[in-house]
Structure 1
């Protein structure tokens, strides 16, 4: 006979805790609209059954949902990035794709100042979780996402279908944006850049915002926010280092 300890958890067990963790990350309560999105988009549906978690020794160890359901579930509903795809180089596990920490995702969306009726282009679909949150907030027709990795595109589409979401996901180089659906009120990147591709500014409405992770020789990682002017240039930029 199975017991409560044997039962695999459910989203109800994790989402409230996740929202509390995200609030701690933000330093304030999660806005109601993003709380609703987090409840409507179960994070576990965007994760593979095999994750790679930090092993405490500078590397990564496999966490398999079948063999360690409670550990896997705790990771799924924790506010931390999760490695979802790796390659092996000289017997070393090298991450090639990850699911961003939900707190980082929500902070990015706050920087973007997303509002009802806006049309958003996401650069870097990854697992599809970020696109699903946007779709839950804005509606599927207002969200377009692009991804350079063909395998990730197919997996993200499958994840989105499983979660009942259907934003447009396209396989292309994110530096090119997605001209067919332009212009956008917001362009939000999930991948770091050292210079903002001109296509992103060209495809953003005047007054719209571009938000992207940024790295440089003087700063390892942070978020760059730009407002696009009538002439297509970017102004009023702000930078927030990740701490």
Structure 2
């Protein structure tokens, strides 16, 4: 990685260097933000060796050094574990920005615990995946105090193209789950449409090209068109899990998500 001049931005941390978190952290580093990294798995830190970023030995060590820390770990339990250690280590006035996809109540819990220590929290799940993160073109959905968003905006803009503020804690995570569930439903419907076409004797490639140029086009169809089959779509399990989270957030038997669940279940059976 080439050398960059250190900016006047805040001291930043990043935890969760997976397929999406790693390019987000790299964009922050390349923008010149002084950045500290921590990862549970040492191998995820290897691409950052020699980069103008420090590597912390623990979450507490990272938290003590930074004003802003982005979290992009895998699930609710990991978010609660990591944030609990950060809250205890960070100085008052610091902020935690949660990019992981979680249940809406998880960010409310973290925000409550952080407030007691003088640490602020911004809920900020993202959409676009690794390619958009690498291009600095993620969409960021935020919730919480608008003033916290404005403080965090220069950092978020290093890896995003659009930033939305949706309301109080829980709103951004709810929107993220709806977005992911809608994509899953569109993928399922596209799969059903292509399967119907095959049953009726249509050649898959020709049908895909026709649909992409017609009113039946959707982002789900475009994604599926790049795969040999729905089974080859590597994010299928993750999308199905988001539908489960939306159902859990809405409550069992909620009619608000029944239609999405039915559409998705046909192609993503649990």
TM-score range, shorter chain: 0.3 to 0.5
What is the TM-score of this pair, normalised by structure 1?
0.37
Name the larger-Rg structure: 2
- Which structure carries more strand by proportion? 1
